[in-house]
Structure 1
Amino acid sequence: MPVASIPASQPFLDTLAAGLAALGEQDADPLALPRVTVLLPTRRSCRALREALLRARAGRAALLPRIVPLGDLDEEDGPGLDTLALPSPLPALTRQLMLTRLILARGEDMTPAQATRLAVDLARLLDQAHTEEIDIAAIAALPVKEELAHHWQVTLDFLGLLIDVWPPLLQEWGAVDPALHRSLGLKAQAQAWRERPPAGRIIAAGSTGSIPAAADVLKVVADLPHGLVILPGLDTSLDDASWEALEDTHPQAALKRLLDRFGLTRAQVGSCEAFLPPLVPPTPLSPAQDARARLVTLALRPAATTEAWRHLGESGDTLCSCRCWPLTPPSHGRAFSWAWSACRWATPRAPWPSGVI
């Protein structure tokens, strides 16, 4: 399964652009690069990749690959979604006004301004539930402590707007919530590629698969004959015990869930240069940069394995290059305290002056 990663120490889009530019220049077919489809998380990242490709080619004219936003697929710019029959997404302003009217119709002592703000929160809850593929109706079955039963019942009565009233309204309009429309589009695209794999090369880059439907698309891309998934900043230096103990809030947790979905280990993830070799190899990290990257990994170690901090100096690797790092002193006292503590943990047996940043 072709899965690669661009380390956090390298500029992601510039590294990807260098590999794509080399692919276009090394192939004798001038249409080789335009046949490549690159899926990126957002429209903003798509624009940034186009600019990075111009930099990689030193401003020379070129035929670019097809660059598509994975997180914002729709009928206009989605790869193949124009042939799929999907219900229309309800416009955001229309949805907010409809929810505001439903809230005011409950007859509670609430001003239109308060109802409008609450409608925004309800819309956000709807989008989050659709994104995580959670049925809001299942909330009513959650176990509740007795001392919270009354307050919980008040909350459930209010959420009845979303459980009992909102779905019939959407059916009357023949529309769905925007987040559900996105998930349906991603799932439909994944199914279409499973049944009819595209002839051109598909590269999905920069996504962590935090949206379940997007993770399905990434899995399909990795299984395609000419597919490639490029992960952003996978930490391969973190020890296995810490990797298995990652909490859901850890920056690497989404990548861990995605690799588990793929059935891969970190050792099976290659480098981007192995699949898209650039014309000029990337500059290796200096000793200070390498030490900095390792210190960040140590500082972000999950709580379950932080006891390993006390053993940092036993192997002889005390990360003494901390004293040479050109860092700007943080203006916030709390940030400075964190930086000081991290440096001190990295040099447990060194004299105090060596821990000064």
Structure 2
Amino acid sequence: MFDPQNPSHLFGIPNGVDFPRSLVNGLIKRMDGRPPHEMAQVEIIVNTRRMARRMRDLFDAGPALLLPRIRMLNEIEDLLPDLDVPKSNSALKRRLELVQLVANLLEREQSFAARASLYGLADSLATLMDEMQGEGVSAEAIANLDVTDQSGHWERAKTFINIAQSYIDLSQDTPDTEARQRIIVQNLVERWEHTPPKHPIILAGSTGSRGTTLMLMQAIARLPNGAVILPGFDFDMPTDVWTSLS
């Protein structure tokens, strides 16, 4: 389906173009002349349910053909049916546990923040944990950053960060959604390095703004039958501008 001479299969659709329609039309054109069952073997991974619905509607509009499998980014564990990953922790359970941890901190260090900020701090802590796990960054790596801080704000921030790391360390058996997704992607990457899938896998519409998604995009782009399709790609941008961004 893709050029075997090109080790990386990275494509783009420019701004102003109907992304789902262009993707569907391009796939139908590329599969033209191939056995009908090969279209049904294609896996398409998208990042929003809206795009998944739109693509299904476009395929349903014809012509008549076997349809590819369209799945969301958070449904990729089906690509590794034998992988045993614990179910993710309940968001409500996590929030209540974080509220208790922050409450304990405020009792120990009353100057840290006002008691009225308890729930806001717990939500901020949850967001921080999602970022840390999604990017694969530990509290130790953050603490080692060279931050000149004469006011003590950074030391207080590190206390907050350490709470996040402690919670993550104690939640290995029930990982959060971000941690669970990263575990799945890491296992996929490792599996594909030794046994790449024989059927086409296309990841479309993501830009790799999150570390875990970027890891998956890089792995799929290296597959013999993989492709990554970027949205809103600027084909007219000069080479020197692209170079300055890298």
Return the TM-score normalized by structure 1.
0.59
User: Against the structure 1 CA distance between its residues 96 and 146, is the aligned structure 2 distance closer, same or farther, given a 3 Å change threshold?
Assistant: closer
Q: For residue 136 of structure 1, what is the aligned residue in structure 2?
A: 139
Asked whether the equivalents of residues 100 and 119 of structure 1 are also in contact (C-alpha less than 8 Å), the reply is: yes
User: Against the structure 1 CA distance between its residues 118 and 66, is the aligned structure 2 distance closer, same or farther, given a 3 Å change threshold?
Assistant: same
Asked whether the equivalents of residues 45 and 70 of structure 2 are also in contact (C-alpha less than 8 Å), the reply is: yes
Q: Describe the superposition over 1:155-197 as per-residue Cα deviations: whole angstroms up to 9, x where unpaired.
A: 323333223x4145314xx212221111111121122222222
The residue correspondences of 1:72-91 to structure 2 (distance < 5 A) are 72-73=74-75, 75=77, 78-80=78-80, 82-91=81-90
Asked whether the equivalents of residues 13 and 49 of structure 1 are also in contact (C-alpha less than 8 Å), the reply is: yes
Measure how far apart 1:100 and its partner are: 0.4
Measure how far apart 1:151 and its partner are: 2.6
Asked whether the equivalents of residues 139 and 162 of structure 2 are also in contact (C-alpha less than 8 Å), the reply is: no
Q: For residue 3 of structure 2, what is the aligned residue in structure 1?
A: none
User: Against the structure 1 CA distance between its residues 224 and 146, is the aligned structure 2 distance closer, same or farther, given a 3 Å change threshold?
Assistant: closer
User: What is the distance in 2 between the residues matched to 1:142 and 1:224?
Assistant: 35
Measure how far apart 1:61 and its partner are: 5.1
Corresponding residue SS for 1:147: coil
Q: For residue 205 of structure 1, what is the aligned residue in structure 2?
A: 204
Q: For residue 130 of structure 2, what is the aligned residue in structure 1?
A: 127
Q: For residue 331 of structure 1, what is the aligned residue in structure 2?
A: none
Asked whether 1:32 is paired with 2:38, we answer yes
Corresponding residue SS for 1:234: coil
Selected match of 1:110 from 115, 135, 154: 115
Residue type at the aligned position of 1:238: M
Measure how far apart 1:9 and its partner are: 2.7
User: Against the structure 1 CA distance between its residues 226 and 156, is the aligned structure 2 distance closer, same or farther, given a 3 Å change threshold?
Assistant: closer
Measure how far apart 1:84 and its partner are: 1.0
User: Against the structure 1 CA distance between its residues 141 and 194, is the aligned structure 2 distance closer, same or farther, given a 3 Å change threshold?
Assistant: closer
Q: Describe the superposition over 1:47-94 as per-residue Cα deviations: whole angstroms up to 9, x where unpaired.
A: 222122224x1xx65431011223x1354xx322x3112233212111
Q: For residue 291 of structure 1, what is the aligned residue in structure 2?
A: none
Residue type at the aligned position of 1:155: A
User: What is the distance in 2 between the residues matched to 1:218 and 1:141?
Assistant: 29
Q: For residue 242 of structure 1, what is the aligned residue in structure 2?
A: 241
Runs (4+) of structure 1 exceeding 3 A deviation are 21-24
Q: For residue 155 of structure 1, what is the aligned residue in structure 2?
A: 157
User: Against the structure 1 CA distance between its residues 50 and 151, is the aligned structure 2 distance closer, same or farther, given a 3 Å change threshold?
Assistant: same
Asked whether the equivalents of residues 23 and 33 of structure 1 are also in contact (C-alpha less than 8 Å), the reply is: no
Q: For residue 167 of structure 2, what is the aligned residue in structure 1?
A: 166
Unaligned residue ranges in structure 2 (runs of 5+) = 1-5
Return the TM-score normalized by structure 2.
0.83
Residue type at the aligned position of 2:204: A
Q: For residue 41 of structure 1, what is the aligned residue in structure 2?
A: 47
User: What is the distance in 2 between the residues matched to 1:131 and 1:223?
Assistant: 21
Quick one: higher RCO (CA 8 Å, sep 6+), 1 or 2? 2
Over alpha carbons, which structure has the higher Rg? 1
User: Against the structure 1 CA distance between its residues 140 and 225, is the aligned structure 2 distance closer, same or farther, given a 3 Å change threshold?
Assistant: closer
Q: For residue 24 of structure 2, what is the aligned residue in structure 1?
A: 17
Measure how far apart 1:117 and its partner are: 2.2
User: What is the distance in 1 between the residues matched to 2:169 and 2:71?
Assistant: 33
User: What is the distance in 2 between the residues matched to 1:144 and 1:100?
Assistant: 28
User: What is the distance in 2 between the residues matched to 1:158 and 1:213?
Assistant: 23
Residue type at the aligned position of 2:46: L
Measure how far apart 1:146 and its partner are: 5.0
User: Against the structure 1 CA distance between its residues 179 and 190, is the aligned structure 2 distance closer, same or farther, given a 3 Å change threshold?
Assistant: same
Q: For residue 69 of structure 1, what is the aligned residue in structure 2?
A: 72
Count of residue pairs the alignment pairs up: 233
Asked whether the equivalents of residues 97 and 116 of structure 1 are also in contact (C-alpha less than 8 Å), the reply is: no
Asked whether the equivalents of residues 18 and 53 of structure 1 are also in contact (C-alpha less than 8 Å), the reply is: no
Residue type at the aligned position of 2:39: L
Asked whether 1:52 is paired with 2:54, we answer no
User: What is the distance in 1 between the residues matched to 2:198 and 2:158?
Assistant: 50
User: Against the structure 1 CA distance between its residues 74 and 66, is the aligned structure 2 distance closer, same or farther, given a 3 Å change threshold?
Assistant: closer
